[in-house]
């Protein structure tokens, strides 16, 4: 996959088969579109192109809204795109100037003149252009004018529930990581640097790595205890993770801390990739560290049952 970060430096293709969107999460619905994109590119002897945007348009249009959270970072999305086998990924910097482009100018100047679109594939609810004024009917008109063909992908359902990035975010904010995984076809992940903590976990036999996520826009699931899988360098481990304010210990700042099973190494400053498999319980305050320790043994047993389940 070739990654392009500038339209100005993109070499116009002779036969581009294109889809466009923000693709947050690259979920099941997105993957249906990308699968059709590759098939169509092969059928038309063309090249598959994904046009996506970063920052997310809402982050540019509403810069003071700190509630805007995304399922994936840009790097996470890029890696998922790479796994799909598309040929070209264009990451267009979304700016206020881009947001002002009318629907017709976006199609003419970017899709046709810059990329060389000959066939365009869009989702059933695709909107584009200034104030999201453009829709599928407009695209049909533009296709005739600018000599490209177009097709629309119908709704993608899982258990009769339409897949969307919004529903995945809602599931994560409710701590329902299993539903999020069903929609995404892969576990929700976070990546972050291991920071030094207060080492209380080590004192009670459950040392934890405190995780700092670099990207402030990355969504974090609801507070609670989760069964997780951890990747460190090229090694994989099971573990359990807590998100919250640790009310038994201090109850101040919200933290993410993970206990890695059968692991004992100094990894401060190193990166971990953590996949959320299931939620075990709410975070709660215990009357003492001894009571917390008893619960952590139960949490570990439950986590091991979940992570080792082969059904």
Predicted local confidence at residue 202, as pLDDT: 67
197 in the same domain as 156: no
21 in the same domain as 118: yes
Q: Tokens standing for 289?
A: 């560290």
Residue 150 domain-assigned (yes or no): yes
Residue 171 domain-assigned (yes or no): no
200 in the same domain as 70: no
Predicted local confidence at residue 311, as pLDDT: 44
* Overall number of domains in the chain: 2
- Return the closest-CA partner of residue 98 out of 63, 62, 135, 128: 128
36 in the same domain as 158: yes
266 in the same domain as 121: no
The ranges of the chain with pLDDT < 70 are 130, 156-161, 198-203, 251, 309-311
Residue 199 domain-assigned (yes or no): yes
227 in the same domain as 112: no
Predicted local confidence at residue 247, as pLDDT: 73
86 in Cβ contact with 116 (< 8 Å): no
CATH at residue 273: 2.40.30.30
- Where among 162, 178, 197 does a domain terminate? 162
The CA distance from 62 to 111, in Å, is 26
64 in the same domain as 6: yes
The CA distance from 204 to 290, in Å, is 8
Find tokens 């296709």 and name the residue.
143
Write out the DSSP string of 92-146.
EEP-HHHHT--HHHIIIIIIIIII-EEEEEEETT--BSGGG-B-HHHHHHHHHHH
End-to-end CA distance of the chain: 35
The CA distance from 237 to 251, in Å, is 28
Task: State the burial class of residue 213 (Cβ atoms within 10 Å of its Cβ: 0-12, 13-18, 19+).
Answer: middle
Query: From start to end of the chain, where are the E strands?
Result: 2-4, 16-20, 47-54, 88-93, 117-123, 149-153, 157-158, 161-162, 188-195, 209-212, 224-232, 235-244, 255-260, 271-281
The CA distance from 246 to 140, in Å, is 55
Taking residue 234's Cβ as centre, other Cβ atoms within 10 Å add up to: 5
Range of the domain at 249: 188-308
Residue 173 domain-assigned (yes or no): no
Predicted local confidence at residue 100, as pLDDT: 87
Residue 117 domain-assigned (yes or no): yes
Q: Could you say which DSSP state residue 218 is in?
A: B
- Where among 162, 177, 202 does a domain terminate? 162
206 in the same domain as 125: no
198 in the same domain as 103: no
Beta-bridge mates of residue 158: 161
20 in the same domain as 145: yes
Residue 51 domain-assigned (yes or no): yes
Predicted local confidence at residue 170, as pLDDT: 96
Residue 169 domain-assigned (yes or no): no
Q: Tokens standing for 123?
A: 């989702």
131 in the same domain as 21: yes
Residue 121 domain-assigned (yes or no): yes
- Where among 145, 162, 179 does a domain terminate? 162
What does R_g of the chain's alpha carbons equal in angstroms?
Answer: 22
Predicted local confidence at residue 98, as pLDDT: 87
Taking residue 41's Cβ as centre, other Cβ atoms within 10 Å add up to: 23
Global pTM? 0.88
CATH at residue 130: 3.40.50.620
239 in Cβ contact with 150 (< 8 Å): no
111 in the same domain as 76: yes
């Amino acid at each position: 996959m070739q990654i392009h970060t500038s339209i100005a430096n993109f070499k116009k293709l002779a036969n581009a088969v294109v889809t466009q969107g923000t693709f947050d999460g690259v979920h099941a619905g997105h993957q249906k579109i990308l699968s059709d994109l590759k098939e169509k590119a092969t059928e038309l002897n063309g090249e598959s192109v994904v046009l996506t945007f970063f920052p997310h348009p809402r982050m540019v249009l509403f810069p003071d809204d700190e509630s805007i959270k995304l399922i994936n970072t840009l790097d996470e999305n890029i890696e998922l795109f790479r796994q799909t086998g598309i040929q070209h990924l264009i990451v267009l910097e979304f700016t206020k100037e881009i947001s002002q482009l009318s629907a017709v100018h976006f199609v003419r100047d970017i899709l046709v003149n810059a990329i060389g679109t000959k066939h365009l594939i869009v989702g059933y609810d695709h909107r584009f252009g200034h104030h999201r004024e453009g829709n599928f009917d407009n695209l049909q008109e533009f296709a005739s004018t600018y000599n490209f063909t177009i097709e629309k992908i119908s709704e993608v359902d899982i258990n009769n529930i339409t897949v969307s990035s919004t529903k995945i975010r809602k599931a994560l904010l409710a701590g329902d990581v299993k539903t999020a995984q069903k929609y995404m076809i892969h576990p929700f992940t976070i990546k972050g640097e291991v920071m030094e903590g207060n080492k209380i976990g080590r004192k009670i036999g459950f040392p934890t790595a405190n995780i700092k996520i670099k990207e402030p826009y990355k969504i974090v699931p609801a507070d609670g205890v989760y069964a997780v899988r951890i990747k460190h360098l090229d090694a994989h481990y099971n573990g359990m993770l807590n998100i919250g304010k640790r009310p038994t210990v201090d109850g101040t700042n919200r933290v993410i801390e993970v206990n890695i099973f059968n692991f004992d190494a100094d990894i401060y400053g190193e990166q971990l990739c953590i996949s959320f498999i299931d939620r075990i319980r709410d975070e709660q305050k215990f009357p003492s560290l001894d009571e917390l320790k008893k619960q952590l043994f139960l949490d570990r047993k439950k986590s091991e049952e979940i992570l080792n389940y082969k059904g």
